[in-house]
Structure 1
Amino acid sequence: TNIVVLAKNQQGIKDLYKLVSLSHTKYLSNSKPILPKSELKKLRENLIVGSGFFESDIFSAILNNNPIKEIENLIDFYDYIELNPVNAMCSLILEERVKDFEELKTINKKIFEISNSKNKIIIASSNSHYLDEKEQLYRKILKIAIKKRDENPNNELYFRTTTQMLDEFSYLGEDIARKIVIENTNKIADMIEDVIPVPDGTFPPIIEGSDEELRSMCHEKAKRIYSDNLPDIVEKRLEKELNSIITNGYAVMYIIAQKLVTKSLSDGYLVGSRGSVGSSLAAYMSDITEVNALPPHYVCPKCKNSEFITDGSYPTGADMPDKNCPICNEKYVKDGFDIPFETFLGFEGDKEPDIDLNFAGEYQPNAHKYTQELFGEEYVYRAGTIGTVAEKTAYGFIKKYEEEKHEKFSNAQIEVLQQNCTGIKRTSGQHPGGVMVVPKYKDIYDFSPIQYPANDKKSGTLTTHFDYHSISGRILKLDILGHDGPSIIRQLEDYTDTNATQVPLDDNLTMELFSNTKSLNCNLEEIDCLTGTLGIPEFGTKFVRQMLIDTKPTTLGELIRISGLSHGTLVWVGNAQDLVINNVATLKEVICTRDDIMNYLILKGLKPKTAFKIMENVRKGKGLTEEFEKDMIDNKVPQWYIESCKKIQYMFPKAHAAAYVMLSFRIAYYKIYYPQAFYATYFTTKVLDFDSSIISKGKDTILNKIKEINMLGNSASVKEKGLLTVLEVAFEMFKRGIKLEKVNLYKSDAKKFKLSEDGSIIPPFLAIQGLGDVVAEKIYQEAQQGEFISIEDFKTRTGASKTVIEELTNNGCLDSLSDTNQLTFKF
């Protein structure tokens, strides 16, 4: 039956959320939430239970002429009884369950009489599913498209005014109509206290001693690097940050992130930082990020002597010349990315930190599980999302409705329908990495019900029922994202038995890769590639490769600037690009990341707070106020710089760019010094785009296919575009003299490219088009058990389909096998 449940008070809200959760989890049936009355009975003290609309058990009982006593028993369960307008029940006439409106009125009268005799509150309800009458059509379109059927097609379920409702129920008499439309509905409303769906305030988790633990670990690492007697620049920056973090109650967020990162590192996976977390020295000192936000500096690993460069002459420590310690003659370590902490914590240090972390894709589930171990399974949930109808999808829905109903709309009508069907909830889902953490002094039902994403019990994942934006700022959201970068690094380390964190960030041959192909010892002009960055994350696309050609970077700092430019909006194209090409400014001078603005304006003489405010305005696309522009002119900021600020719509944080560039530079290093490992790793991450039937034939076949796809231009499919990128890297690999073997029945892995002893690369079974994960894994496992006698034996043991066997045969994988198990003897 359908019922209505209202919350009387704040406890009622919580109990309601529990019931919604039970219906979407324990009692979910065929993706449909249902709830036994027994569960409702347990929690109804703070709830008001109404009989629901015309599909209720009471309505059905009267419609079916059930005994009066049975109907009275049903009525006894409810706190109030609901009556609907007869034209909201047209479907019953269409289904021939009643004759006409008069019979519906008779049923409503009977419900009223029996309920009234039981002294129940009786109310009139529109049973509204939309606001205006004209919106009925929008609902019909959506129902046919999403639900695959047009339920209750003629029911008028719009929101009626008081006057309309009085007219609807005039057949009961003026006094009764007034009572059920106005007086009794107000009576129900008066039973409900003021409530809020989500509590006000912030409710972070508590880890005892987190303030002291953060301070202690930060000082311990700082002293390990810079000596017990910390340089002033380190101590002042660290204390300023720690005081802000601890005073505002944010230490627990750092400790949680630190524990997650430490666990991942101990399991052999690097973690990349996203966003502005690298702007925080405390985040570096607590091992949350590898980005050291201090100004460029030298530090001696032996005696801890240090030298800081604060005049802006070097963008990063890696760009400074090598130097030995003047005290002990040990070679200095170079570090520092010169990033102000204000971009992360705000000028006053009171901004809530948003710590986003990139974990290896295959490790992400482990990180989520570890979060549950830290806080308890009942306190950790995936962040729920609401999927809505997109504009193009809405257009498809309208066309489907026209087809089903044999109707035709004009272009103007379609436009109106499209606008009104766009943005409507279509399904539920989960954030790719968002995890909501409930503190132990609360439970999830204080904030949201829970459910399976898209009501799919098989997912095994519980999410917040509300979109996570609805409860953000109330409870902690951790962004534990999956990313290819850490996975690539782990695989490179495994292939080469090296430590990627030891890669020198000032290696000349690696740096050269970003401006030409000399360090690859090959020419790639045939595929219109003038740099060596194919396959390097963030720097391998045609757009960024063109930026590299235009800017000719020679330092790590310039790569960070390019990363900032490539991720911004109206920062490079139509802005900095013109300045560089026309020799108005150099790459080192143009605005690339949001932090550049603050650093540059402070160097020009503006007050730090003013510089911060200008940076915030510009990065958000708000341009410059007259006051800001005057301050900049007074401090001799060039006019081109001012005009550039006005054009910018969005800017990337320097810390994020620095983290990306460190990762990319390390991968580029392996491309130079461990090429086989690089290509095997790259193709493993792109295995679904890899087409063995083309690539195994060599560079001439690859080149022809590249030209063929390029000729398609924008009409190339997504699959073809994905293949194109892989083909370009494969072409480069062959040009460098690296061989690719065919898929081998006994040497190939299921999913990963392997290195053979002679330096060639062995593709996995998954590299063959048409083989899925399950089939590839099955073939691999069976091959490990022993050789196949024949194709017949292969098919029996692996369960491979005819199509799979054809693909394997075309790729030469089954050449050594006879067709059947039978042997033929000739006499």
Structure 2
Amino acid sequence: MGRVYIMKKFFEVFSELNVYDKLRKQVENLIIKSVEFSERQKKLIIIVQSNKILSHKTQEEITKQIKSKLFPSADFSIHIDVRYVIPADWTLEEAWTEYKDHLMEDLQKNNLLINLILRASDIIVRENRVLIDMPQKTFTDKQYAEYKTCVEDLFSKKFDRKTICELTFNKKYEAVHINEQRYLVDVAEAHSRPRVKPSDQKPVAKKDNPASASNSVATKPKEAYKPRAKMDLTNMIYGRNCEGKVIKIADIIDEIGEVVIEGEVLNLETREIRASKTIIFCDITDYTDTITFKIFVENDEVGNILTDLKKGGFYKVKGSAIYDKYDKEISLASVKGIKLIKEFKTKRMDNAPKKRVELHMHTKMSDMDSVVDIKGIIKRAKEWGMSAIAITDHGCLQAFPIANHAIEKDDPFKIIYGVEAYFVDDNLGDELAEEANTEQEEQIKKLKSYHGIILVKNEVGRINLNKLVSAAHLKYYSRRPKLPKSLISKYREGLIIGSACEAGEIFAAILEEKDENDIAKLVEFYDYLEIQPILNNEFLVRSEKYKASSLEDLRNYNRKIIELGEKYNKRVVATCDVHFIDPEDEIYRRILMDYKGFKDADLQPPLYFRTTNEMLEEFSYLGEEKAYEIVVENTNQIADEIEKISPVLPDKCPPIIEDSDKELRKICYDKAHEIYGPDLPEQVTARLERELNSIINNGYAVMYIIAQKLVWDSNDHGYLVGSRGSVGSSFAATMAGITEVNPLAAHYICPECFYTEFQSNAAGISGCDIPDKACPKCGAALNKEGHDIPFETFLGFYGDKEPDIDLNFSGEYQSKAHKYVEVLFGEGKAFRAGTIGTVADKTALMYVFKYLEKREMTKRKAEMRRIAAGCTGVKRTTGQHPGGIIVVPHDRDIYEFCAIQHPANDVKTPIITTHYEYHSIDHNLLKLDILGHDDPTIIRRLEDLTGISSSTIKLDDKEVMKLFHGTEVLGITPDDISGIKLGSLGVPEFGTDFVIQMLIDAKPQNFSDLVRISGLSHGTDVWLGNAQTLIEDGKGTISTVICTRDDIMTYLISMDLEAGMAFSIMESVRKGKGLKPDWEKAMIEKNVPDWYIWSCKKIKYMFPKAHAAAYVMMAWRIAWYKVFYPLEYYTAFFSIRASSFNYELMCFGKEKLENNMKGIMGISKEKQTAKDQDLLKDMRIVQEMYARGFEFKEIDIFKASDVDFKIIDGKIMPSLGTIDGMGDKAAALVVEAAKDGPFLSKDDFKKRTKVTQTVIDKMSEFGMLGDIPESNQLSLIDIM
């Protein structure tokens, strides 16, 4: 029989072959490419294709099964030849790295000699070439040709890639781990002996055994072999050796072969490939340049390597400099060794006996100006032995909290808190500045500003500075936050004022050669004067605007300031005006300046952090005594006058609502009696008392009452409120009406006689899933409640963890909720939580790319990433948390805590935010999370459209559950909706491809299972590679695997672990911190299964059950409307949740829609834009709507809404906003204009609606404008 090509799945060919499940899973996805019978060898050869490694053990086992079960009496053998299908974008090198061990096993079975040769050689795989560098030629030319062909066939057949093999010899190898004499013996023996079975063969050393590495020393053929001494392997963390001459990374500009480099690892990433290997990518720099190297390691070795290979570590690396066709640049591959070395970067140190103090320093919080890492410079100042350092960012105080966290409370190092403000000389008195009217404020904003330093001396000064900065941002902001000097005078107590840099008014007055009397008046305002290194101001010499013509002129300006200080008894200090820490860091600021459009960005002044001796040298032209006075003595004097303070208050300051504890207790018990009757069940009383005692005793009652008032106000306006986080774990929150989630165990309640029955055998089950039951006392149908959630998840094991009450309000009501907070606490007591937007990694990389592009320069991507990293974290803008409200107690003032401002300094918005990023003060001021969400809005809309209250929907409706099993309940098939197998599209939490597949895999049976799936879908490393694997392997079910954080505690307690330990394990696992050894030991002793312990170790983040339950309750109600009120459901969905609905693409019938869908789906996911993907999401819902028999009605401009879809004549009329190009404002204008009567012409329409001509043409095309003429003039002619 010749070769027969088949190309079918394994069990399509061997359909009669019955094998055990595990073996079936291992081979069922194999494709049988062809079958061939060799008469000479009496062998049936089955050639199969696989996209993953098929172990030799599996090959042998399936061969055995085929022979014994299908050909038991045949006199031929069976051989399986595996060909691997590798991804198209893989290089041959990646394929070799992935499959190397497996191929070597193949060779060991079939050609031992080549196996030995390859193990003893250096192998470099590049593009389509395999380069094998042999230590010594020990065979004939004929054998050479055979071996070359063998290797080429091996690669070509296994990977379907044409491969050329080259064998080279006489390379000088370092003797590392191989015994060369043994190698020569092995080769000689391989020539002389017949092939042996693997079981008879002496074991070949494994690759991960250091003693088996395969380099050898090259020897001349006629010389006796002399092994070299072993290399020094001290601190080797990977590979065989790192011997060789170290070269600069900057010198690696081409494929120069093997190199040795030294450097600091800047970035480190891992990428798992297939199931067995991981690639580790590292960027390494020696500060001349940066390059990427990568190593391929077994998955079980990754942890060991990453223990020693770390970001920030210094290493010697030996590898081959080759062109990476994916990165399109030179990188290091085929890494032979990585060795840990000592840091070689020279550090500047301050060796002066007495150190100076820096009083003018900018951090990354100075808008797009400084690249100083706050913690980094504080660490450096401490390393240099300095006693203090000042922070003086441009117009802001946002670095203060970060700096405060950089030192311990008892650390003697002092941070001086200050600002470089923008002073304006307003000539108003103190009182007038405070009470300046709008016109005066506008005049002040137009005045020229000068830089000035303000340092905080004590607690009074801290509060006064907050007041000043707030005024600058709220009242006097004009391109920058300006500060009237009169206002500074009013709040000067506790502050020290300095004259700042060349942009200060003293220096400016000298440059302008102002009258001595005028200068004297200016000097009088300041507590100290400031001078800086002359090269800071070298731009004055370069610019034609100024009279300075030499560096000596700059020195004279400094001498003049010193003269003024002496004359008017003002201390003079020398500062650096720090904008970067080390001289070489100027490149980062250069990048930022270039982005901002500065033409002289490449002429960076040396604004680096200088040591004491560097500053003394800088000012040596003043004489040794004067230089020491301004550099050391005066700076220390000022620092000594300043108290060590905290920029944020350490104490908790919650708002006060009188008798909130009593009110909470009353509300909770009133509700409990309303539900459970006059005689409360023990389970209710015990849980409620335990919770209320914890809440009230720890001072959290006010938080509950605030949340209760907000929720009740929303309910009064007709909107449900969804709870987030773990607040649903609190039964007190349920009884207070804060959450709908009842955390008690599943139980029955009689609505008539209050009979209550708790289900002891329903652990972890939601009450809605227990069987229906009639009341045994009165016969009424019992209500079913409870979700079995422990209170500890919310307030901690001892009830003392601060609660975080997050609530989802309707987006339509959110702004009203924010205003209601002001009603509760009064004007000036509620502020939006401020945020800070900084330069992100990708943005910084874009800055670097643009900088290089302008200058026609090229750098390696690794070097670009290094430079970009120095630009990240720099403040770009400020903003506001989407729902965060900071509340100040009625007896306190916001300035005690922080300054305030408009978000993004938008002077047109009435919104005022905290100046600090809100996390900086949420430890002492209450933050309410009043978030906007679509679910409450869509439910309100569905209630309005159907007249049915969502509160009447039962959570055990079998028809609703069918949505999560298939599409039949919708009256359609998967073929009708592009193959989607479930009906959960458009149902919150359950409509994405990822979750739909989870539903298919997990097969939920009830509401409780949906809660579990919601938990799994929001966790990290909880489903993929964890619960999914356990379910597939039959070790767990959706009911037994870990789905939410609460599952861990409740399960471990049920296994008799001590409750406190169970809680601690839950907290550790949910945060991705894993298990402590003593915990694991205790779990094993209590017979917790191995798979459960394994699962705990994999988890990185877990969702709280209460959050999942709240989400699923909302989702279930929406799903109910989808099943029973489809027209209303689609109307509400398109109005509220459809983000990219397009009238033209979606509303002209199913056929046109599906053609448009095919257009997008024909684009690979990698190339689809975000807009494409959003369109496709909405199209899927539209396709489902069409499949269920519903249609759209054409838009009537006199009936359509601007944003909401409407039901008219049994069809859905889209909103005007769905017309491409019609924005929300334009749509609203059309609606308003339509109220004024018909449009006479298209010109009239355009004039009254302000709609663009493009949109008008589109509307005409759709027939929306009827037959109205182009202009009014034409209309009059027609009438005549």
TM range (shorter): over 0.9
2:1037 to 572, 582, 586: 586
Where does residue 80 of structure 1 map in the other structure?
528
Distance 1:51 1:11 in 2: 21
Answering whether residue 1052 of structure 2 is matched by residue 601 of structure 1, we say yes
Q: Residue 912 of structure 2 aligns to which amino acid in structure 1?
A: L
Answering whether residue 1061 of structure 2 is matched by residue 610 of structure 1, we say yes
Cα shift readout 1:678-704 (whole Å, capped 9, x = no counterpart): 101111124540111121121112222
Distance 2:861 2:731 in 1: 57
2:473 to 24, 41, 54: 24
Deviates more, 1:180-189 or 1:312-321: 312-321
Q: In the superposition, relative to structure 1, how do residues 50 and 787 fare at CA in structure 2: closer, same or farther (>3 Å)? A: same
Distance 1:319 1:427 in 2: 50
Q: In the superposition, relative to structure 1, how do residues 431 and 137 fare at CA in structure 2: closer, same or farther (>3 Å)? A: same
Check conservation: 2:1055, 2:1086, Cα contact below 8 A: yes
Shift of 1:632: 2.0
1:307 to 738, 745, 757: 757
Answering whether residue 780 of structure 2 is matched by residue 353 of structure 1, we say no
Shift of 1:144: 2.4
Answering whether residue 1078 of structure 2 is matched by residue 627 of structure 1, we say yes
1:738 to 1190, 1194, 1199: 1190
Where does residue 465 of structure 1 map in the other structure?
915
Answering whether residue 659 of structure 2 is matched by residue 209 of structure 1, we say yes
Where does residue 310 of structure 2 map in the other structure?
none
Matches within 5 A, 1:721-800: 721-756=1173-1208, 758-800=1209-1251
Answering whether residue 727 of structure 2 is matched by residue 258 of structure 1, we say no
Q: Residue 1017 of structure 2 aligns to which amino acid in structure 1?
A: S
1:683 to 1128, 1134, 1142: 1134
Cα shift readout 1:520-552 (whole Å, capped 9, x = no counterpart): 111133412111111111100011011111122
Shift of 1:265: 0.6
Partner of 1:429, secondary structure, is strand
Check conservation: 2:764, 2:787, Cα contact below 8 A: no
Deviates more, 1:629-638 or 1:668-677: 629-638
Shift of 1:148: 6.0
Shift of 1:171: 1.2
1:670 to 1121, 1141, 1145: 1121
Check conservation: 1:146, 1:426, Cα contact below 8 A: no
Cα shift readout 1:161-195 (whole Å, capped 9, x = no counterpart): 11111111111111111111111111111211121
Q: Residue 467 of structure 1 aligns to which amino acid in structure 2?
A: E
Partner of 2:530, secondary structure, is strand
2:960 to 502, 510, 522: 510
Shift of 1:152: 9.5
Check conservation: 2:1139, 2:1178, Cα contact below 8 A: no
Shift of 1:606: 1.9
Partner of 1:386, secondary structure, is strand
Partner of 1:458, secondary structure, is coil
Partner of 1:212, secondary structure, is helix
Answering whether residue 486 of structure 2 is matched by residue 34 of structure 1, we say no
- Tell me how large the CA RMSD over aligned residues is: 1.6
Check conservation: 1:687, 1:767, Cα contact below 8 A: no
Check conservation: 1:91, 1:152, Cα contact below 8 A: no
Q: In the superposition, relative to structure 1, how do residues 485 and 439 fare at CA in structure 2: closer, same or farther (>3 Å)? A: same
Distance 2:1128 2:771 in 1: 30
Q: Residue 323 of structure 1 aligns to which amino acid in structure 2?
A: K
Where does residue 49 of structure 1 map in the other structure?
497
Q: In the superposition, relative to structure 1, how do residues 409 and 220 fare at CA in structure 2: closer, same or farther (>3 Å)? A: same
Check conservation: 1:317, 1:334, Cα contact below 8 A: yes
Check conservation: 1:222, 1:285, Cα contact below 8 A: yes
Distance 1:463 1:148 in 2: 31
2:1145 to 690, 694, 716: 694
Distance 1:129 1:569 in 2: 39
2:630 to 160, 169, 180: 180
Check conservation: 1:524, 1:732, Cα contact below 8 A: no
1:446 to 893, 896, 909: 896
Check conservation: 2:964, 2:1004, Cα contact below 8 A: yes
1:286 to 703, 720, 736: 736
Distance 1:523 1:85 in 2: 78
Where does residue 94 of structure 1 map in the other structure?
542
Partner of 2:1162, secondary structure, is helix
Distance 2:549 2:1214 in 1: 71
Q: Residue 666 of structure 1 aligns to which amino acid in structure 2?
A: R
Note the residue ranges of structure 2 that are not aligned, 5 or more in a row.
Answer: 1-449
Shift of 1:427: 1.4
Distance 1:406 1:100 in 2: 33
Check conservation: 1:90, 1:152, Cα contact below 8 A: no
Where does residue 420 of structure 1 map in the other structure?
870
Q: In the superposition, relative to structure 1, how do residues 218 and 311 fare at CA in structure 2: closer, same or farther (>3 Å)? A: same
Specify which structure has the bigger relative contact order, considering alpha-carbon pairs within 8 angstroms and separated by 6 or more residues.
1
Cα shift readout 1:580-635 (whole Å, capped 9, x = no counterpart): 22322211111100111111122222222222112112111122222222222222
Deviates more, 1:330-339 or 1:114-123: 114-123
Q: In the superposition, relative to structure 1, how do residues 318 and 761 fare at CA in structure 2: closer, same or farther (>3 Å)? A: same
Answering whether residue 451 of structure 2 is matched by residue 2 of structure 1, we say yes
Distance 1:696 1:214 in 2: 52
Q: Residue 473 of structure 1 aligns to which amino acid in structure 2?
A: H
Q: In the superposition, relative to structure 1, how do residues 280 and 46 fare at CA in structure 2: closer, same or farther (>3 Å)? A: same
Check conservation: 2:453, 2:500, Cα contact below 8 A: yes
Distance 1:589 1:256 in 2: 38
Where does residue 646 of structure 1 map in the other structure?
1097
Where does residue 334 of structure 1 map in the other structure?
784
Q: Residue 351 of structure 1 aligns to which amino acid in structure 2?
A: K
Shift of 1:138: 0.6
Distance 1:37 1:721 in 2: 55
Q: Residue 106 of structure 1 aligns to which amino acid in structure 2?
A: N
Shift of 1:826: 10
1:535 to 986, 995, 1002: 986
Shift of 1:413: 2.9
Shift of 1:429: 1.1
Check conservation: 2:729, 2:794, Cα contact below 8 A: yes
Deviates more, 1:701-710 or 1:366-375: 701-710
Distance 1:223 1:826 in 2: 76
Q: Give the TM-score of the pair, scaled to structure 2.
A: 0.63
Shift of 1:313: 5.1
Matches within 5 A, 1:706-717: 706-712=1157-1163, 713-717=1165-1169
Where does residue 262 of structure 2 map in the other structure?
none
Answering whether residue 670 of structure 2 is matched by residue 220 of structure 1, we say yes
Shift of 1:402: 2.1
Shift of 1:227: 1.5
Q: Residue 461 of structure 2 aligns to which amino acid in structure 1?
A: G
Shift of 1:555: 0.5
Distance 1:629 1:71 in 2: 75
Matches within 5 A, 1:363-374: 363-374=813-824
Partner of 2:451, secondary structure, is coil
Q: Residue 155 of structure 1 aligns to which amino acid in structure 2?
A: P
Distance 1:150 1:653 in 2: 54
Where does residue 1006 of structure 2 map in the other structure?
555
Where does residue 1255 of structure 2 map in the other structure?
804
Q: Residue 20 of structure 1 aligns to which amino acid in structure 2?
A: V
Partner of 2:923, secondary structure, is coil
Distance 1:93 1:247 in 2: 68
Shift of 1:3: 0.5
Q: Residue 497 of structure 2 aligns to which amino acid in structure 1?
A: V
Cα shift readout 1:59-112 (whole Å, capped 9, x = no counterpart): 111111111111111111101111111111111112131111100111111111
Distance 1:92 1:545 in 2: 66
Q: Residue 501 of structure 2 aligns to which amino acid in structure 1?
A: F
Q: Residue 498 of structure 2 aligns to which amino acid in structure 1?
A: G
Where does residue 84 of structure 2 map in the other structure?
none
Q: In the superposition, relative to structure 1, how do residues 647 and 440 fare at CA in structure 2: closer, same or farther (>3 Å)? A: same
Check conservation: 2:747, 2:786, Cα contact below 8 A: yes
Answering whether residue 683 of structure 2 is matched by residue 230 of structure 1, we say no
Partner of 1:55, secondary structure, is coil
Q: In the superposition, relative to structure 1, how do residues 8 and 36 fare at CA in structure 2: closer, same or farther (>3 Å)? A: same
Shift of 1:341: 0.4
